[in-house]
Structure 1
Amino acid sequence: MNYLTEYQSFANKYELNEAIASHLNDHRHQLNDTDHNVLTMLSRYAVKFPGVAHLKVGTIAKALNKSDRTVRRSVEKLEQLQMLKRQAFSREKTGGQGANLYIFLPYKQTGLPDTKVEQAEITEQNHEENHTFVEEPMIPITLYTRFKNLIKSYAGENNEGLASKLYGIYRVHTSRLMKFEIHANKGELLKTIAIQAIRVLFQATKRKNIHNLIGYYDGIFRELTDKALFAEAFMDYEEPMEVKIP
């Protein structure tokens, strides 16, 4: 599958994960479960050649137990939201139309000068209505306290808003996963991953400037979860496997 190299849209999987996380932060409320699952499946097949996946609609539909038409609608929505684009592809040896390429697009924040983007993100973290995340009174105090204390050890006081946002990322992903019987006993593992992802996040801030801590954490959590739950199934295979993605 080396032919995919020329279609890569990211330098590495970390950039891909960060872009997807940022897109999701912007458009999470516009995506239903099927849209999210299609995006998740495509993103996992876009790891080996960062940013590009080569799959048939039928393969996606079978893995997700959906109709071809439903998958196409989800892909069209992802295109409209400028999260990815489709590109027709045909093999020279066989001729004819093959499976589409799905190319993930870099995240672009519009409407603000570059010099003001970081400040805007900080303001958004402090003031944005928290529609996606569970309100604090409902948060299990033990794990949430661990979030707050760990973030405090890295970033100092007055970061409760950041802790709430990161905890929200954990809740969104785990609530989706725990609906499936196969993951029903993975609660403690997912808590461990959530804490480890915070450590990885702040270690990364020592090496480079990260403008979107929320998006970066989302990408780290997704990657660590993939490695823990799905790696053996497909992460390093050259040819796509037909696996069912939650």
Structure 2
Amino acid sequence: MTIKSAVVESFSEYSQFGSLKEFNNHFEMWMADKKRFFSKGELIGLKRLARFAAKVPGVANAKIGTVLKAIYEEYGEIGISRSTFKRMILKASEIGIFTVYETARKNGSQSSNLYVFNRFPMNELPDGNQLSHQYKTIIPSETIIKKNNKREEKAAEEQSSEIQRLKSGDEKVPEEHLFVSNRVPSEFVNLVKYFYPTAKSIEEFWRMSKVAAYRNNYEKETDLLLSLSLDSFKQLVRKLKSKVEVKNPIAYFAGILNKKYQERYFEELYDLQVA
């Protein structure tokens, strides 16, 4: 189907969303369920295209060159190729994330494509309590976000006394760490137990490690996951021993991890560019 080229506001009738927030929620659910089908470069292209769909929620009218230029300006010399972006378009349209319409100028020549993002099919909503293949799927719906926030707030409250003990230098290790799930690597347990000795706290920190790895497409690299988790926790400990107050250690730990994964990703991109 070919439609006449126009400014993006003219295509508001194609939008399937009542607000930008609703579009973002559905896009995040698409990512939680389908991101494993895309390479890192393709994900960069897809997420950048989604940002072009903000003026009219879920509708983007941009030339490929315009999107690639925006990526280049955001990431510096490390961008993605036109062929990578086209592969992303093919995959995303086949999966059903968006529908592509060709637009034509008044003289009949082809113009930029119109990308109409689709709603996530709720009858296929991934179950956040089960594993997708061997990795946990995270559903960013409002209900689950609220539950996760409450969970982190409760964990932060439970850990407040442990933070005070850490700053006072008490390093007595209770026996409760022996009840940590065997899914948590012993190296991680042996580090965390000196500062957060409860099994619940140790498992929560490791859960956030797995979440960060999944969100950054490194969940299969188990050695890297463990190494960055240990480094990130040590960095958290240094912060806790300083005069800076950390209200939510788990969230702070997750932030450190995400930053390390992003740095790792850009290092890999650079290596690919110079190879």
TM-score (norm 1): 0.50
- Aligned partners of 2:204 and 2:35: how far apart in 1? 18
Aligned to 1:30: 37
What residue number does 1:75 align with?
89
Kindly name which structure, 1 or 2, has the bigger radius of gyration based on alpha carbons.
2
Give 3-state SS (helix, strand or coil) of 1:98's partner. strand
Q: Which of 57, 79, 82 is residue 50 of structure 1 equivalent to?
A: 57
Q: Which amino acid in 2 is paired with 1:53?
A: A
For structure 1, the 5+ residue unaligned runs are: 112-116, 134-145, 177-186, 197-246
- SS of the equivalent of 1:72 reads helix
Match of 2:121 among 103, 108, 115: 108
Q: Separation in 2 of the partners of 1:84 and 1:57? A: 15
1:8 Cα deviation from its structure 2 partner: 1.6
Number of positions where the alignment pairs a residue of Structure 1 with one of Structure 2 = 160
Cross-structure match for 2:129: 125
Write the letter of the residue equivalent to 2:40: D
SS of the residue aligned with 2:80?
Answer: coil
Tell whether the 8 Å contact from 1:60 to 1:71 is kept in structure 2 after alignment.
no
Structure having greater relative contact order (Cα 8 Å, sep ≥ 6)? 1
TM-align CA RMSD: 4.3
1:20 lines up with 2:24 in the alignment: no
- Give unpaired runs (5+ residues) of structure 2: 1-6, 73-78, 138-148, 157-199, 219-234, 237-246, 253-275
Partners in 2 of 1:162 and 1:91 — Cα distance? 55
Q: CA deviation at 1:52?
A: 0.6
1: CA distance, partners of 2:122 / 2:207: 19
Cα distance change of structure 1 residues 129 and 40 upon mapping to structure 2, 3 Å threshold: same
Cα shift at 1:50: 0.2
Which deviations, in whole Å up to 9, do the C-alpha atoms of 1:74-108 show, x marking residues without a partner?
Answer: 1101111111111111244x542110011111001
**Superposed displacement of residue 58, structure 1:** 2.0
Residues 82/162 of structure 1: CA separation in 2 closer, same or farther (3 Å cut): farther
Cα deviation, 1:182-207, whole Å, max 9, x if unaligned, reads xxxxx99xx98x959xxxxxxxxxxx
